[in-house]
Structure 1
Amino acid sequence: MPAASPLVLVHGFWHGSWCWSEVTLHLAAAGRAAVAVDLAGHGLYARRPAWFTGRASHHSEAVTTEVSPLADVSLDDAAALLTSQIKRIGGEPVTVVAHSAAGPVLTRVAQQTPQLIARAVYLTAYMPASDVPAAAYTRLPEAAGDRVAPLLKGDSARIGALRLDFATDDAAYRRALHEAFYGDVDPALAEAATGLLTPDGPLGIMAGTTTLTPDGWGSVPRTYLTCTGDMAIWPAVQAKFIAEADAAFPDNPTSVVALDASHSPFLSIPDEVAAVLAALD
């Protein structure tokens, strides 16, 4: 039996490769090779606005108006970085697991270089249809009432980012953040994770589009891990991604695994996430 492909774990907006630490421990115990990488504009590639770092006064005007230092980061940039990270691993194709806003990046990479991807896995992630920006799904009726949109600061188009204020001492705002992302995560762990988040997610990643073809993205085996308690990407939106993909590429249907979790199962149920991933071909 051939060895299972290595796993490349990619976090979503505002997070970093650190969020996969518990999952990678469980994967190591299961004997599955895995590496977590940083998304463009995050982790070791993060660039923080002045108000967040204390180089400018932290007040409402700066939070809502300062142009993001990530405003120039595009979907092209993010895909190029992920492609280079995959190539550095070398050897056989890898299984890429994308969470949330990393979904469009995985889609672009799988379309451009399908030979690098053994399987594309979307963990409650944006999986946009051909030539549709991920941002368009946040405006659908199925997305109405999500818990993230009310927390965004400023005009995203003007500042070039989806911005959250993780530096605030507003207790109600921080509770709402935890509910949106970490509803089923231990409160102490949720607070620790919040302290590691960066404020800006590059709008360019969500605004970019990819033309999907049968010999590109449509040829790559794909799995979607739904999260039934997600308050950031509602289950109805997750279902729409799957339905659109299967309608476009019916000869390569999406395999679906349901997780009883919030938007961040890598923190709330890392053992279950690892077990699902370890079982993938």
Structure 2
Amino acid sequence: MGGGDGGDDSVLHFVFVHGASHGAWCWYKLTTLLDAAGFKATSVDLTGAGINLTDSNTVVDFEHYNRPLFSLLSDLPPHHKIILVGHSIGGGSVTEALCKFTDKISMVVYLAADMVQPGSTSSPHDSTMAVGEEDIWEFTYGEGDDKPPTGMLMKEEFRRHYYYSQSPLEDPTLACKLLRPAPLRALNGADKLAPNPEAEKVPRVYIKTAKDNLFDPLRQDRVVEKWPPSQLYILEESDISWRRVITLLFSLSRLPYSLIFSVLYLFFNYNAKLHSWFDHISSLVHYIKKSYC
């Protein structure tokens, strides 16, 4: 299961889905490194996000919002083994995609994301956007001030604290120029999925962000309790050194999913403790390659 696209050989293909107000652009560092390592990596702009030209005030349902993701997945050939990664409210999008394209998706990774079991009645955006009584949102009224709001965007003075508290200064400077209002009416449908037993058989990984100022870690714990994933990892810090882990990720492209789980953890959780983790996983990789590959 390699990263190349030769013939009908299996191709490991990462597909990344952004959160509210963001776009495909927010994954540019990660997709660049995966591409350089020989993997397929694609990020998508949902309707009204990023460089998608649709006015987000006109996006009224969740299916419309997710349509670019569905179009991408439907066009991918069957030998692409898709690892679908969603962040924040993008978790609702990847869950709906999982239900629609179950046979194409090999794994779903929820990175500090909504993870609501199909058929449940939980309200995911209440959990990811609830930050107490502080008024941090600016609403847009695309159908008039006398009608319910059609979009929402975090006020600029709060963005660094809630979105980018662990990021280099230049990242939020750029990001704040790219954010767009999120379509409120579409997001209200994020938890309205029918039960899907087949989709629940697909392996799921949840990566918890322990220092998240927007999606409270305790709320993330409740998300995990309501629909336990195959694996749970905790991202303690945001200081990430990519290249060494990318090399290891590439070496695992033909290995079982249990090892890919471990690599995803390392990939998102590089810190001072990684050296011992790296040595441990490297030894394990060497053993499995020698024994099974």
Task: Give the match's secondary structure for 2:163.
Answer: helix
**TM-score, length basis structure 2:** 0.70
- Which of these residues, 115, 119, 123, is aligned with residue 133 of structure 1? 123
Aligned to 1:257: 233
- Which of these residues, 112, 137, 140, is aligned with residue 152 of structure 1? 137
Residue type matched to 1:115 in 2? D
- Shift of residue 115, structure 1, vs aligned partner: 0.9
- Shift of residue 29, structure 1, vs aligned partner: 3.2
- Shift of residue 270, structure 1, vs aligned partner: 6.9
Mapped contact 1:97–1:120 kept (Cα < 8 A): yes
Q: Give deviations 1:217-254, integer Å, cap 9, x for gaps.
A: 312111111111111111111111111112xxxxxx43
CA distance 1:77–1:245, shift in 2 (3 Å): same
- Answering whether residue 37 of structure 2 is matched by residue 30 of structure 1, we say yes
- Shift of residue 72, structure 1, vs aligned partner: 3.0
- Answering whether residue 159 of structure 2 is matched by residue 177 of structure 1, we say yes
Aligned to 1:66: none
CA distance 1:194–1:136, shift in 2 (3 Å): closer
Percent identity between matched residues is 25
CA distance 1:155–1:201, shift in 2 (3 Å): closer
Matching of residues 1-281 of structure 1 within 5 Å: 3=10, 5-47=12-54, 69-92=56-79, 93-129=81-117, 130-137=120-127, 143-145=130-132, 150-154=135-139, 158-166=148-156, 173=157, 176-198=158-180, 200-208=181-189, 209-215=192-198, 217-246=199-228, 253-261=229-237, 269=240, 271=242, 275=246, 280=260
Task: Give the match's secondary structure for 1:241.
Answer: helix
CA distance 1:136–1:274, shift in 2 (3 Å): farther
Aligned mates of 1:213, 1:47 — CA distance in 2: 30
Runs of 4+ in 1 over 3 A off after TM superposition: 1-4, 143-146, 154-157, 272-279
Q: Give deviations 1:108-165, integer Å, cap 9, x for gaps.
A: 11122211211111111111232333234358xxx5539xx62112388812222334
Structure number with larger C-alpha Rg = 2
Q: Which runs of 5+ in 2 are unaligned?
A: 3-9, 142-146, 253-259, 262-293
Q: Which runs of 5+ in 1 are unaligned?
A: 49-68, 167-172, 247-252
Aligned to 1:53: none
CA distance 1:28–1:84, shift in 2 (3 Å): same
- Shift of residue 107, structure 1, vs aligned partner: 0.8
CA distance 1:151–1:136, shift in 2 (3 Å): closer
Aligned mates of 1:272, 1:128 — CA distance in 2: 33
Aligned mates of 1:88, 1:44 — CA distance in 2: 20
Aligned mates of 2:163, 2:92 — CA distance in 1: 19
Mapped contact 1:135–1:206 kept (Cα < 8 A): yes
Aligned mates of 2:88, 2:241 — CA distance in 1: 16
Aligned mates of 2:48, 2:84 — CA distance in 1: 19
Tell me the matched-pair count.
235
Aligned mates of 2:101, 2:244 — CA distance in 1: 26
- Shift of residue 85, structure 1, vs aligned partner: 0.9
- Shift of residue 178, structure 1, vs aligned partner: 0.5
Aligned mates of 1:230, 1:256 — CA distance in 2: 16
CA distance 1:230–1:205, shift in 2 (3 Å): farther
What is the Cα-based RMSD across aligned positions, in Å? 2.9
CA distance 1:273–1:161, shift in 2 (3 Å): farther
Mapped contact 1:99–1:125 kept (Cα < 8 A): yes
Relative CO higher for 1 or 2, CA cutoff 8 Å, sep ≥ 6? 1
Mapped contact 1:7–1:34 kept (Cα < 8 A): yes
